[in-house]
Chain A
Amino acid sequence: AQSVTQLGSHVSVSEGALVLLRCNYSSSVPPYLFWYVQYPNQGLQLLLKYTSAATLVKGINGFEAEFKKSETSFHLTKPSAHMSDAAEYFCAVSEGDTNAGKSTFGDGTTLTVKP
Chain B
Amino acid sequence: GAGVSQSPSNKVTEKGKDVELRCDPISGHTALYWYRQSLGQGLEFLIYFQGNSAPDKSGLPSDRFSAERTGGSVSTLTIQRTQQEDSAVYLCASSLGPGQGNYGYTFGSGTRLTVV
**What is the size category of the interface that chain B forms with chain A?**
20 to 34
Q: How far is the CA of A42 from the CA of B112 in the complex (A)?
A: 12
Shortest beta-carbon distance from B67 to chain A in Å: 14
The interface on chain A, measured as residues whose beta carbon lies within 8 A of the other chain's beta carbons, has a size of 25
State whether A32 touches B106 (Cβ < 8 A): no
State whether A49 touches B103 (Cβ < 8 A): yes
Taking the complex as formed, is A45 at the interface, i.e. its CB lies under 8 A from any CB of chain B? yes
Taking the complex as formed, is B48 at the interface, i.e. its CB lies under 8 A from any CB of chain A? yes
What total count of A-B pairs have CB within 8 Å?
63
Pick from B33, B45, B95, B105 the residue with the most CB of A within 10 Å: B105
22 pairs, A vs B, C-beta closer than 8 Å: A32-B102, A34-B104, A34-B105, A36-B104, A36-B105, A36-B107, A43-B91, A43-B107, A43-B109, A44-B105, A46-B105, A46-B106, A51-B103, A90-B43, A94-B102, A97-B99, A100-B48, A101-B96, A102-B33, A105-B35, A105-B43, A106-B42
Residues of B near any A CB (own CB < 8 A): 31, 33, 35, 41-43, 45, 48, 50, 56, 91, 93, 95-99, 101-110
